[in-house]
A and B are shown apart, each in its own frame.
Chain A
Amino acid sequence: AQSVTQPDIHITVSEGASLELRCNYSYGATPYLFWYVQSPGQGLQLLLKYFSGDTLVQGIKGFEAEFKRSQSSFNLRKPSVHWSDAAEYFCAVGGSGNTGKLIFGQGTTLQVKP
């Protein structure tokens, strides 16, 4: 069965520090992978997505993610975190074939210390 695991429920980093949010997926075919961000009281916004090509994907707001098939991972990174990055981050997996169904991880809440 398809699944997404975000091992870290809550992460705190200092402003200016680097960030890595982990995501592991289970999917039998070619996965399509997404990272979304949710600010308090808001809907989800797409940060980046991967479905083919270069395994290092650039997104909005200075985020990037690297797809590693051997590790079934799609970790999100940012070299220098800003206070405005405090939010909840969701990794999601969809699949080839015309289903449109996304499976979301439980989310990681990011807190940024001044």
Chain B
Amino acid sequence: DAGVIQSPRHEVTEMGQEVTLRCKPISGHNSLFWYRQTMMRGLELLIYFNNNVPIDDSGMPEDRFSAKMPNASFSTLKIQPSEPRDSAVYFCASNKGLASSTDTQYFGPGTRLTVL
């Protein structure tokens, strides 16, 4: 299996621009998670989906952030408008179960976002 795929791997944009991060989970996995990693705040869960349905978005920082999962093999995280404080590494992860806490989450390589 190819693992969790994220694109782009690096993104540099200017403040105010829209940014879209993409994720393809492992085939057959039913849950998908978006995380943000920064030096100051560590690894934070932003949102997760079960069977393409958003279950908990309490970690989404503000209305500028939105996430969708139109089908089982694709998810997007959008930031509009972007701000310098959004600079971070964004990880997508998936697991097999319906968000069972015992399942292993498999992480993608991350997207490093820099907002100038």
Residues of A whose CB lies within 8 Å of any CB of B are 32, 36, 41-46, 49, 51, 90, 94-107
**Contact digits for B79-116, partner A, Cβ 8 Å, 1 yes 0 no:** 00000000000010101011111111111111000000
Q: Which one of B33, B56, B101, B105 has the greatest number of beta carbons of chain A within 10 Å?
A: B101
Known: A36-B107, A100-B98. 16 other contacts (CB 8 A): A42-B109, A43-B108, A43-B110, A44-B43, A44-B93, A44-B105, A45-B107, A46-B104, A96-B101, A100-B31, A100-B48, A100-B50, A102-B45, A102-B105, A104-B43, A107-B43
How many of chain B's residues touch chain A, expressed as a range? 20 to 34
How far in angstroms is the closest Cβ of chain A from B49?
10
In the bound complex, CA of A101 to CA of B35 (Å): 11
Partner of A100, one of B4, B100, B106: B100
Across the interface, name the chain A residue whose C-beta is closest to B43. A104
B61: interface (CB < 8 Å): no
Q: Known contacts A106-B42, A107-B42, A107-B43; is A101 also within 8 Å of B101 by CB?
A: yes
Cβ of A40 to closest chain B Cβ, rounded Å: 11
Which of A32, A44, A90 interacts with B101 by CB under 8 Å?
Answer: A32
A49 to B100, CA, bound (A): 13
Contact of B97 among A90, A100, A105 (CB under 8 A): A100
How many Å lie between the Cα of A105 and that of B37 in the bound state? 12
